[in-house]
């Protein structure tokens, strides 16, 4: 299930707005150990989404969260930029600016291990 914040961000984007921590406050009053987040404060100049409107963003929210997870995992597995530049330098020196170069193989291995979907 997508997080409420994710669904609200998508709702805002659909209405040409961006997330602003000062314009929306989400609160979670745990009830008997069960999470129940809701919009506590809303000061945007568009209608505050009700539960049914937020529910419309469940699928898109799940997709966005999955993509963000994959991109985050990829970012943690890529070599540091200075190492990637060194790989590129050595590839260019060896005339391997194609799919046979070490930089390309590294990037491809990370992307293959963490597909977008």
73 and 50 housed in the same domain: yes
Q: Alpha helices of 1-117 — where are they, by DSSP H?
A: 4-14, 51-55, 58-77, 81-93, 102-113
Q: What is the model's pLDDT at position 30?
A: 84
Q: What is the pLDDT of residue 31?
A: 82
Whether 1 and 42 share a structural domain? yes
pTM: 0.77
Residue 54 and residue 13 share a domain: yes
pLDDT in the model for residue 105:
98
* Total number of domains constituting the chain: 2
**42 and 73 together in one domain:** yes
Residues in the chain where the model's pLDDT stays below 50: none
What are the start-end ranges of the E strands in 6-101? Answer: 24-28, 37-42
Q: Let me know whether 68 and 117 are in one domain.
A: no
Q: Are residues 35 and 52 in the same domain?
A: yes
Containing structural domain, residue 70: 1-77
How many helical (H) and strand (E) elements, i.e. helices and strands, does the chain have?
5, 2
Q: Are residues 72 and 93 in the same domain?
A: no
Q: What is the pLDDT at residue 85?
A: 98
């Amino acid at each position: 299930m997508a997080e409420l914040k994710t669904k609200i961000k998508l709702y805002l984007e659909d209405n040409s707005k961006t997330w602003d921590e000062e314009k929306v406050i989400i609160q979670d009053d745990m009830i008997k150990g069960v999470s129940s987040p809701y919009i506590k404060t809303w000061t945007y100049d568009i209608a505050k989404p009700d539960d049914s409107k937020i529910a419309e963003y469940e699928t898109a929210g799940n997709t966005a969260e999955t993509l963000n997870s994959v991109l985050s995992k990829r970012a943690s597995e890529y070599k540091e930029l200075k190492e990637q530049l060194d790989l590129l330098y050595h590839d260019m020196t060896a005339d391997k600016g194609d799919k046979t170069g070490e930089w390309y193989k590294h990037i491809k291995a990370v992307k293959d291990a963490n597909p977008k979907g």
